[in-house]
């Protein structure tokens, strides 16, 4: 679930300035976290190559971090699904635009998840790594001291029952109307606490990534580095093809416009997203730019913010590819039935993978725990390379929402196609001064 207030997200007259200020403050902090994780991954790989035994001994660091992630899976899933059911109701009540947008988002997210599964089955990332759960280097038994420290972390709560309960509670509160709003407000505050806890846990990510990468490289050498590079390369290529072939074809067929011209028009936003690894930072600019390009203000004000919670194409591709990577690397590949079940679960749970650093990892962990709990021990490797794939995720999510605003605008008769052509062709350039605070009303 996005950290943007749902009522603001569905308000065409939303004021973007406070969001931009808060986003800038958060970006500055998470940017340092991003750098720390990269340094930790490189250092872990070096330790694993130079001192394999030491690297394998560091595995509990990664195991402990994954245990912390498991600890908050159920609260995140519960809060985001309950609030998500409520926001779907709000979006639908906006009318034709909201209902059409939600139907489109659900379709595209499902398609993106399926593409991730297809590519994952095609390349078999992680094959041959044979990752193993933590075992002490002495005698194969778990080290008592390490196990005691790991046992200090609270146990996880079953995910599937939590998901079912959250859906039932969400629909129950929805049926209560205004009487249920105080409860939704309370859950929203609890969600804020859970996400703050998640952010605190993510500041330990460099330590977890260091231990996990050192352990897997120490055990398998260059094979681990090669497998991670294959996954990252395949993910980037898949996202690029999704943007050009899937989104580009839809964009051309529905509006007659060119996806490459749209990407050029949004060039500044792409640079901002690439430097921050978050599409949240560009949300106010995207709303302003699609309005300038001919999308009506009500459509832009509904579709773009709602899409930031419900239209996460890049995240969807990542979730299924990463899940298959972990299962293959653990030597326990998922069968077709488990993959279909994973896809259905991710369609629902991925709605909570936006807006908060680490929520994507929590969603991935939830999917694995719901279908194959034994695979969670292999997630440490994903922690290490997750940040390297965050740019592609964010750029794909952003492009998907930009395209969605034009498509919904066209389908509802709220797109000035001549203005759109002139803007994307460069004959009607966007005035950056309109984003300055003194020019906002």
Over residues 299-330, the pLDDT tens digits come to 888 888 878 777 888 888 988 888 888 888 88
Whether 49 is in a domain gets the answer yes
pLDDT score recorded for residue 138:
42
Whether 2 is in a domain gets the answer no
| Cα–Cα distance measured from residue 371 to residue 286, given in angstroms and rounded to the nearest whole number | 37
pLDDT tens column, 345-367 = 777 766 655 555 566 777 788 77
Alpha helices, DSSP H only, in 124-155? 144-151
- Among candidate residues 396, 397, 370, 367, the one with its CA nearest the CA of residue 382: 367
Whether 66 is in a domain gets the answer yes
pLDDT tens column, 411-425 = 988 899 999 999 999
Whether 163 is in a domain gets the answer yes
Among 110-114, 357-361, 394-398, which stretch is predicted with the lowest mean pLDDT? 357-361
What's the angle, vertex CA 315, arms to CA 311 and CA 321, rounded to 5? 135
pLDDT score recorded for residue 261:
94
**Count of helices and strands (H, E) across the chain:** 20, 0
pLDDT score recorded for residue 315:
84
pLDDT score recorded for residue 379:
77
Whether 417 is in a domain gets the answer yes
Whether 3 is in a domain gets the answer no
The DSSP output letter for 242 is I
- Among candidate residues 154, 190, 146, 165, the one with its CA nearest the CA of residue 70: 154
Residue 57 reports pLDDT greater than 80: yes
- Among candidate residues 170, 424, 433, the one with its CA nearest the CA of residue 290: 424
pLDDT tens column, 222-239 = 877 888 888 889 999 999
Which letter, b or e, does each residue of 303-342 get, where b requires 16 or more Cβ atoms within 10 Å of its Cβ? bbbbbbbbbbbbbbbbbbbbbbbbbbbbeebbeeeebebb
Residue 20 reports pLDDT greater than 70: no
pTM assigned to the model: 0.74
Total of domains in the chain: 1
Whether 101 is in a domain gets the answer yes
pLDDT score recorded for residue 18:
39
pLDDT score recorded for residue 275:
66
DSSP for 261-281, written as a single string: HHHHHTHHHHHHHHHHT-SGG
pLDDT tens column, 236-260 = 999 999 999 999 999 999 999 999 9
pLDDT score recorded for residue 8:
39
CATH number at residue 70: 1.10.3860
Residue 61 reports pLDDT greater than 80: yes
Contact 22, 376 (CB under 8 A): no
pLDDT score recorded for residue 9:
39
Task: Please report the beta strands in 88-202, taking only residues with DSSP state E, as ranges in sequence order.
Answer: none
Among 2-6, 228-232, 347-351, 376-380, which stretch is predicted with the lowest mean pLDDT? 2-6
Whether 383 is in a domain gets the answer yes
Question: What domain range is 202 assigned to?
Answer: 16-439
The DSSP output letter for 143 is P
Residue 428 reports pLDDT greater than 80: yes
pLDDT score recorded for residue 13:
38
Contact 71, 154 (CB under 8 A): yes
Residue 196 reports pLDDT greater than 80: yes
As a whole number, the mean pLDDT across the chain is: 78
Residue 25 reports pLDDT greater than 50: no
pLDDT score recorded for residue 350:
65
Residue 104 reports pLDDT greater than 70: yes
Between 359 and 200, the more confident residue is 200
Owner of token pair 């990252």: 232
């Amino acid at each position: 679930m996005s950290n943007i207030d749902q009522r603001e997200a569905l308000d065409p007259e939303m004021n973007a300035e406070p969001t931009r200020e808060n986003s800038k403050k958060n970006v500055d902090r998470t940017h340092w976290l991003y750098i720390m994780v990269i340094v930790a991954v490189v250092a872990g790989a070096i330790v694993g190559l130079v001192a394999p035994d030491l690297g394998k001994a560091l595995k509990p660091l990664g195991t402990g971090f994954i245990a912390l992630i498991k600890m908050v899976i159920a609260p995140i899933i519960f809060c985001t699904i309950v609030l998500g059911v409520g926001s779907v109701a709000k979006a639908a009540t906006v009318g034709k635009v909201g209902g059409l947008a939600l139907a489109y988002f659900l379709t595209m997210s499902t398609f993106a998840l399926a593409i991730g599964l297809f590519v994952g089955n095609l390349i078999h990332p992680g094959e041959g790594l044979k990752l193993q759960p933590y075992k002490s280097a002495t005698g194969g038994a778990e080290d008592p001291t390490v196990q005691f420290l790991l046992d200090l972390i609270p146990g996880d709560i079953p995910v599937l029952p939590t998901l079912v309960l959250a859906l039932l509670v969400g629909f129950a509160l929805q049926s209560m109307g205004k009487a249920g709003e105080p409860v939704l407000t309370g859950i929203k505050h609890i969600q804020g606490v859970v996400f703050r806890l998640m952010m605190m846990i993510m500041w330990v990510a460099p330590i977890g990534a260091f231990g996990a990468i050192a352990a897997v490289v120490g055990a398998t050498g260059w094979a681990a580095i090669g497998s991670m590079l294959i996954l990252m390369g395949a993910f980037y290529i898949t996202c690029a093809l999704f943007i050009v072939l899937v989104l580009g074809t839809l964009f051309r067929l529905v509006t007659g416009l060119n996806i490459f011209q749209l990407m050029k028009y949004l060039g500044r936003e792409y640079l901002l997203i690439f430097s921050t690894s978050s599409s949240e930072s560009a949300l106010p600019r995207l709303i302003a730019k699609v309005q300038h390009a001919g999308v009506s203000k009500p459509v832009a004000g509904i579709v773009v913010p709602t899409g930031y919670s419900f239209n996460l194409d890049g995240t969807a591709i990542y979730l299924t590819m990463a899940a298959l990577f972990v299962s293959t690397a653990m030597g326990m590949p998922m069968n077709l039935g488990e993959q279909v079940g994973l896809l259905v679960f991710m369609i629902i749970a991925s709605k909570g993978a936006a807006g908060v650093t680490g929520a994507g990892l929590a969603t991935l962990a939830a999917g694995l725990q719901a279908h194959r709990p034994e695979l969670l021990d292999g997630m440490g490797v994903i922690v290490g390379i997750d940040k390297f794939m965050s740019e592609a995720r964010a750029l794909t999510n952003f492009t998907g929402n930009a395209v969605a605003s034009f498509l919904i605008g066209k389908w509802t008769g709220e797109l000035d196609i001549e203005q759109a052509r002139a803007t994307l062709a460069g004959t009607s350039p966007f005035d950056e001064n309109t984003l300055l605070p003194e020019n906002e009303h």
